[in-house]
Amino acid sequence: MNFLVTGGAGFIGSHVCERLLRDGHSVWAFDDLNDFYDPQFKRANIRDIQSLALPFEFFHGDLCDVDAVNEIFSSVKFDQIIHLAARAGVRPSLEQPALYARVNVEGTVNLFEAARKNGVKKITVASSSSVYGVNAKMPFTESDAIISAVSPYAASKLACEALGHTYHHVYKMDVAMLRFFTVYGPRQRPDLAIHKFTKLIDAGKPIPVFGDGSTARDHTYVTDILDGVMACTNKEFGFDIFNLGESQTVKLSELISLIENALGKKAIIDRQPLQLGDVPITFADISKAQAKLGYNPQVKVAKGIPLFVDWFRQNRQ
């Protein structure tokens, strides 16, 4: 099949492109290579994919540019779309809420419209665990009332979920929304905690720790995320939402210890106050994904952190 992967040069997107190619599909990656973090990381991802010498094309474009979106749809007949492109990050969204709304919401509308006009019926979309906000019920389930988003990023992802339902209801598209829980692994964005902490501890520099270390996240290794994404491409749902996580929470203090042990170095802690937009915990109930997708995460964080550190050591930048 012909797949369009938006955000295909990014962390998760580049892995999705590789998995699709290895499964025998043809892939077009659409990415604007923005400077949210150093674009050299994304260019390196593209080079890695191109080195596979499989049917892959990279298209440099912005989803907010309707002409660019129409151009790629006019040149290729796509069977499916995997929509991963977005302005990411909770804290940066507090500084630029209008940018997050434009890219994440308007860009998603442009993509859905191009798909509708060109007869693409199946789209898998990246949402986020951030939509749960400050949720008192543990673990988080897809049926929870979503009324407590605490950042513009989370709000933009909620809007995308609503758009997905609308395009299913009105235009009969098959749309799966995937709520990712704190993804990490090779190629992880350098601004995210595991990559940032590993780099700073390795260099003997202080790491910024917000709060007392008791905040907890459901860290999910990228290969497990890939399994969930691929399962969505092989089934039809009409419209549905799935949590993709490990269903295991790890406190920030414990995470730092795992990184220290993998590196064989101690962290220098720069204690800072909790940040606006942060939530105390994320915790995925994955029973729905297990039942409908056959999702079965394999890499617990105690195994995943040493795997990431091994990758980091081989790819220091």
Q: What are the mean pLDDT values of the chain's consecutive 10-residue runs (317 residues total)?
A: 98 98 98 93 96 96 97 96 95 94 97 98 96 87 87 95 97 98 96 95 95 92 98 96 96 96 96 82 96 97 97 86
What is the pLDDT, as a whole number, of residue 278? 78
What is the pLDDT, as a whole number, of residue 80? 98
Collapsing DSSP states into helix, strand and coil, what is residue 187? coil
Report the distance separating Cα 264 and Cα 284, nearest Å. Answer: 30
Point out the residues that are catalytic: 153
- Burial (Cβ within 10 Å: 0-12, 13-18, ≥19) of residue 140: buried
What is the pLDDT, as a whole number, of residue 148? 78
Collapsing DSSP states into helix, strand and coil, what is residue 174? strand
Query: Which residue type sits at 285?
Result: D
What is the pLDDT, as a whole number, of residue 274? 81
End-to-end CA distance of the chain: 35
In angstroms, what CA-CA distances link 206 with 183, 192, 310? 23, 15, 21
> Residues near 236 by Cβ (< 8 Å), separated by ≥ 6?
122, 174
Categorise residue 168: left if φ over 0, alpha if ψ from -120 to 50, beta otherwise.
Answer: alpha
Going through the chain in order, the beta strands assigned E by DSSP cover 2-6, 26-31, 56-60, 80-83, 122-128, 174-180, 183-184, 206-210, 216-217, 220-221, 239-244, 250-251, 268-272
DSSP structural state of residue 131: G
DSSP string spanning 201-256? HHTT-EEEEESSS--EE--EEHHHHHHHHHHHHTS--SEEEEEES-S--EEHHHHH
> Residues near 57 by Cβ (< 8 Å), separated by ≥ 6?
27, 28, 29
Q: What is the dihedral of CA 226, 133, 100, 7, to 10 degrees?
A: 0
In angstroms, what CA-CA distances link 69 with 30, 118, 132, 166, 167? 9, 11, 31, 20, 18
Domains of the chain: 2-183+221-247+283-297 (3.40.50.720)
Structure tokens at 249: 């929470």
What is the pLDDT, as a whole number, of residue 317? 59
Q: Is the peptide bond before 206 cis (omega within 30 degrees of 0)?
A: no
